[in-house]
Amino acid sequence: MGAGKTSAARAAAAALGARAVDSDHLLVERLGCSIEEYFASHGERAFRAAEEDVVAELLERPPSPVLSLGGGAIASERVRGLLERHTVVLLDVDEETAWRRAGGRRPLARDRSRFGALLAERAPLYATLADVVLPDSSRDVVRRAVPAMRSLAQAPAGTRLLWATAASGEYPVFVGDGLLGSGFRAVAGDAHVVTDETVGAIYGRAIDAASTVTIPPGETAKTLATAQTVLEALAEAGLDHDGHVLALGGGVVGDLAGFCAAVYQRGVRVVQVPTTLVAQVDSAYGGKTGVDLPQGKNYAGAFHQPTAVVADPTALATLPPEELAAGWAEVIKTALIAGGPLWKRVRSRAARPDRDLVLACARTKLAVVAADERDAGARQSLNLGHTVGHAIETVTGYARYRHGEAVGLGLLAALTLSAQPALREEVAGLLAEHGLPTRLDPAVDPADVVAATARDKKRRGGRVGFVLVEAPGDVRTHVAVSPDDLRAAVAELERS
């Protein structure tokens, strides 16, 4: 309700040269009265039965129109079964917007809290059915997303498409088992692959590459010196603005290759093909690219949105267990930010590193980035656990802890600072179950960590703002923390 389905369907139909049909409009014609009147005289059950017949007729009879479906139609098993043969597009609107548009105007949108409960109840069903998720979209966004929707036909069955938007650009995110090696191409033109030695050896042949440059694996390669090697290799290979960089690997490759793409000839396109859990649930999206300096993590970089992201969760099968564990830290962070069904799944231990988990995390991150690409406000929430996490990485020379491991410790420090002992304990339990450290190496001096947080590149006006948690799904950004409290939170990491 209130998602803008009718106008989105018209925009998609115009781009496809197809017919647009609104099931509610057709239903009103058939019923001979308004939905409201029919609800009042016959009740919801009779309405749903009539709706099911009309929708089934439309879904069964080719040629298919672009159909905008009443929000409750998917409650019918028959309709859900028929939808399997079609491409289902979910328009992702928040409750506030939906209520503003539909509140008071539909039989099931009379009462604000019932309306919210209904949306929350339907959300998991929508997420399961949707082949494509578009953010609350103008007609232009829908029109521009149509080619990517069409390209789903070339992707392995079960591939899902998220449409990412940010102030500086929009791009498709494809998540599907078997995408790597399927021959699927999200972007035309020559692909100049940047990968690391480990990933290149396993997946290099899955890509039809115009050239390949291979860097050593791991965080210690995320430097300006490596970037120079990559930039020179791209120039030698003749990359120009018709081609693109293809980042094949984890967050290190993604950040470094994205940075090279941002500065090479003042910016060429980059396609992110993430192969670690960290990269598939987090780093491949949002356009932050960069390299480390000895003085600080990610100290040189640029915002450069990808042209497309292609994530194949089956690639996680070859990931060493400790790298998979590092990814769980980002999953737990994302679940704490999202709250709701994602947090429920993660805390119940029901989450697996599969397509649906990657999709849920990507949706959370993309929604935050859509609201604030450049880290002015809401995006800071993604930094949860990272202020102390980055400081731990910096003082240990990027060699003692994986990024995800340091973020896990940072999450615990953030929960101490949030005065959430019970949640801290629960998160520590989750981290430990995934094989992540919950205790800081005693060789690390808390004073050094505190000093390094003061150099965090997100400090403003001489102050580092922390991200703290009120409850899962409710995080506060830019919170001031006293040096004593910070020292105590880091010191607690050595005890816990």
Ligand X SMILES: NC(=O)c1ccc[n+]([C@@H]2O[C@H](COP(=O)([O-])OP(=O)(O)OC[C@H]3O[C@@H](n4cnc5c(N)ncnc54)[C@H](O)[C@@H]3O)[C@@H](O)[C@H]2O)c1
Determine the residue with CB nearest ligand X.
Answer: 251
Task: Give whichever of 178 and 218 is closer to ligand X, judged by the CB atom.
Answer: 218
Among positions 135, 249, 408, 465, the unique one binding ligand X when judged by CB under 6 A: 249
Could you say whether residue 286 binds ligand X (CB under 6 A)? yes
- Please pick, from the candidates 315, 440, 450, 481, the single residue that binds ligand X as defined by CB under 6 A: 315
Residue 239 or 326: the one with the smaller Cβ distance to ligand X is 326
Q: Which is nearer to ligand X, 69 or 278 (CB)?
A: 278
Stretch of 2-10, 40-48, 276-284, 345-353 contacting ligand X, by CB under 6 A: 276-284
Instruction: Report, in Å, the least distance between residue 154 CB and ligand X.
Output: 23
Tracing tokens 């922390």 back to the chain, one arrives at: 466
Distance CA 366, CA 350 (A): 23
Contact positions with ligand X (CB under 6 A) in 218-247: 218-219, 222
* Amino acid code (one letter) for 279: A
The DSSP H or E segment spanning 139 is helix 139-151
Using CB under 6 A as the criterion, what x/- string covers residues 334-363 for binding ligand X? ------------------------------
Q: Compare residues 108 and 206 and give the one whose CB is closer to ligand X.
A: 206
Helix axis angle, 340-347 relative to 321-338, nearest 10°? 140
Instruction: Output 75 or 167, the one with its CB closest to ligand X.
Output: 167
Nearest to 239 by CA among 307, 305, 191, 279: 191
Q: Return the range that interacts with ligand X (CB under 6 A); candidates 56-64, 153-161, 251-259, 356-364.
A: 251-259
**Long-range contacts, stretch 471-476, CB < 8 angstroms, 24+ apart:** 471/339, 471/423, 472/335, 472/336, 472/338, 472/339, 472/343, 472/423, 473/336, 473/337, 473/338, 473/339, 473/340, 473/343, 474/339, 475/336, 475/337, 475/381, 475/384
Closest distance to ligand X from the beta carbon of 345 (Å): 21
Beta strands, E only, 236-314: 244-249, 269-274, 288-293, 296-303, 308-311
Give, as ranges, the residues between 179 and 218 that touch ligand X (CB under 6 A): 196, 198-199, 202, 217-218
* Nearest approach, Cβ of residue 166 and ligand X (Å): 12
Check binding of 319 to ligand X (CB under 6 A): yes
Taking CB under 6 A as the criterion, the residue among 389, 404, 437, 472 binding ligand X is 404
The reply to whether 119 sits near ligand X by the rule CB under 6 A is no
Q: Which lies closer to ligand X via its Cβ, residue 10 or residue 333?
A: 333
Smallest gap from residue 320 Cβ to ligand X (A): 6
From residue 63 to residue 102, the character string flagging contacts with ligand X as x (rule: CB under 6 A) and all else as - is ----------------------------------------
Angle, helices 386-395 vs 403-417, to 10°: value is 130
DSSP string, 80-105: HHHHTTS--EEEE--HHHHHHHHTTT
Q: Per-residue contact track with ligand X, 123 to 152, x per CB under 6 A?
A: ------------------------------
Q: Residue 296 Cβ, how far from ligand X at the closest point, in Å?
A: 11
- Binding ligand X (rule: CB under 6 A), the pick from 345, 403, 424, 434 is 403
Residues 18, 21, 22: CA angle, nearest 5 degrees: 150
For 198, the 3-state DSSP assignment is helix
User: For ligand X, which is the closer residue by CB, 130 or 252?
Assistant: 252
Least distance CB 277 / ligand X (angstroms): 7
What spatial distance separates the first Cα and last Cα of the chain, rounded to whole Å? 48
Full strand arrangement of the beta sheet holding 160-166: 89-92, 132-135, 160-166, 169-175, 308-311, 269-274, 244-249, 191-196, 211-215
Q: Going by DSSP bridges, is the β-strand pair 211-215/191-196 parallel, antiparallel, or unpaired?
A: parallel
Confirm or reject binding of residue 253 to ligand X (CB under 6 A): yes
Residue type, 148: A
- The answer to whether residue 405 forms part of the interface with ligand X (CB under 6 A) is no
Q: Are 409 and 437 in contact (CB under 8 A)?
A: yes
**In the set 137, 214, 275, 334, which binds ligand X (CB under 6 A)?**
275
- By CB under 6 A, residue 58 contacts ligand X: no
**Of residues 316, 358, 312, the one with CA closest to residue 180:** 312
CA–CA gap between residue 54 and residue 100 (Å, rounded): 28
The residues of the shown chain that bind ligand X, judged by CB under 6 A, are 196, 198-199, 202, 217-219, 222, 249-253, 255, 275-276, 278-279, 282-283, 286, 288, 298, 315, 318-319, 323, 326, 403-404
